[in-house]
Each structure stands twice: as C-alpha cells, then as structure tokens.
Amino acid sequence: MSIRYDSILTTSAVLSGLYLLAVMPRMTNRPDPAPFNKKYFAHRGLHDNASDAPENSMAAFRKAVDAGYGIELDVQLTADLVPVIFHDPDLKRVCGVNRMVRNCTFKELQEYTLFGSSERIPALKEFLDMVGGRVPLIVEYKSEDTDMTLCRVIDPMLRNYKGVYCIESFNPLVLLWYRIHRPKVMRGQLSDGFIHIPKYRTLAKAPATISVQFLIPNFLSKPDFIAYNHMYEGNLSRRICRSLYRAKAAAWTIRSEKELKKAAGAFDVFIFDSFIPKLPEGQ
C-alpha cells in the first residue's frame, strides 16, 4: 500500500512539474512592458457600430487617437496579400455580404462599407501612417491554421513603424514565428474559456482550443503576456503566469466601469468597449 501511495505522489509531482514547465512564459530577455502597463486600449477603435465610426474603421481609430487611448486592432490578409484591418473571417455581419475576406482582393473589399456607414475596410498601412506613433498598439493576428504568410507579410510593415506596438494571437504558431524571427517584439497569447463555448467542444476543435485555454502551448511560443477573457480570470494557468512567473496580463473585453473595477486587481492592461473609461494619470 505504501509503495502504491509513493508512486502516486511521485507521479503527481512529475505531472505538476511538467505542467508548470508547459505554461511557463518567456522568463529572460523580456521586452520592456512599461509602455503598456496600466494602459487602456480601445477595442477595434473608439467605435459605435450604429454611428459613422464603426469597429475597425479609420474614423474609430482617429477618435481613439484624439482621446489618448491605445488601440487594439485585428489584421488579416486579402487574396492579393494586402494586410487589412477586419475582425471576422467573412463579411456577413459587418458588410452584409456572404464572402470570405481571404477570397477577396483589396480592390474588391473597397466596394463594401462597414455597418451601412461611409467607412470602408482599412489597409494596415493607411492605419499605421495615420497613427504615426501617437498611441501604443495591440495588433491581433487573425490566424486559424499553420500558414504563417501573414507574419511574413505584416512584420516588415510593423518593423518600419516608428511607434510602440505589440502583437497577439489565439494561434500559438504566430507567437512561435515571432519567437524565432523577431524575438525582441513583445508577443501575447490570447485565450478564452473555450470549454464554456459550444462550438469549441466538438471532437475536432476541443483538443487544440482546450490546450490554448490552459496555456499549454506556452512551452513552444513563450509569450510575454497573456490576454484573457476577463470573465474567466480565475483560470489556473492564467493566474500562475501572472503571479508565479510575473507575466503581464491583459483583460478583454471590458464593457463597463463595474467590470473595469472588478478586473483591476487581476490584470495589468485593459481592452475596453461600449463605454468610455477615465484615463489613469500619466496617459
């Protein structure tokens, strides 16, 4: 009986050690997080989809810059490999058109407007030229496969950008690409409580999404920060990364002062939407 008990203890200790190694973020040569700490970032710009400044539009981005907020934005590629700022993989919700962004050329995308406004899908270059380093950026790479063409296309544009930025993605392979090719760029792992979302509980999607939920791919990608759905801030892996390994934590998406106040003690960076928070001193 004692031998069996010792074996259980040994096995538990080994598995615990492997788990702690798996979720460990980057521990050495971390980029300076100061430009992002305690900062507020306007989710897809300072937008209102019922106005003339809808999400991920140049108008929403200009409003965020004018108000002094950082900006969180989504980037993906068109069929002719132009980096554009757009969240969804298809145009249905935003433009009312049943087409995939990746199947359209940039010229074709310019035929559509955002939520019935006069705003059109911006090219990343147009956005970077407008911001001009005035506020910090969180650039989310929209990637759901192993093709890292978007990293190879977008990175040179960001390399030439003179302002402060970091990158993030749900796809750990994007972070791995940056770990190998651009180690000095701050990189963040996005995650969510996938187990609570029915579409991610399918046999095909569950293994990958649950591993990301518990940050297991960190052993490959070595993120500098964890960007987590604030509703699931109690996730053990997320807490270990922040409290034990001292990785910065970004909260998405904060939609009220009440949520902001609740998240204040558990996160360092706040991505907000649907309300206007008061800027902390120094911003």
Express each pLDDT in 27-39 by its tens digit.
999 999 999 988 9
What's CA 76's distance to the chain center, in Å? Answer: 13
Q: Give a three-class secondary structure readout of 189-256.
A: EEECCHHHCHHHCCCCCHHHHHHHHCCCCHHHHCCCEEEEEHHHCCCHHHHHHHHCCCCEEEEEEECC
94: number of Cβ within 10 Å: 22
Average pLDDT estimate for 103-124: 98
Report pLDDT for 9: 83
pLDDT tens track for 68-99: 999 999 999 999 999 999 999 999 999 999 99
Instruction: Please determine, for residue 237, whether its predicted confidence score (pLDDT) is greater than 90.
Output: yes
Instruction: Please determine, for residue 2, whether its predicted confidence score (pLDDT) is greater than 60.
Output: no
pTM of the model: 0.94
Per-residue confidence band for 205, with pLDDT thresholds at 50, 70 and 90: confident
Report pLDDT for 3: 59
Q: How far apart are CA 84 and CA 195, in angstroms?
A: 30
Q: What is the dihedral of CA 262, 25, 74, 160, to 10 degrees?
A: 130
- The amino acid present at 84, given as its one-letter code, is V
Instruction: Please determine, for residue 243, whether its predicted confidence score (pLDDT) is greater than 90.
Output: yes
258: number of Cβ within 10 Å: 10
Per-residue confidence band for 10, with pLDDT thresholds at 50, 70 and 90: confident
Q: Which residue in this structure is represented by tokens 């749900």?
A: 170
Q: How far apart are CA 152 and CA 237, in angstroms?
A: 30
- In the chain the domains, ranked by start, together with CATH numbers, are 39-142 (3.20.20.190), 170-275 (3.20.20.190)
Instruction: Please determine, for residue 49, whether its predicted confidence score (pLDDT) is greater than 70.
Output: yes
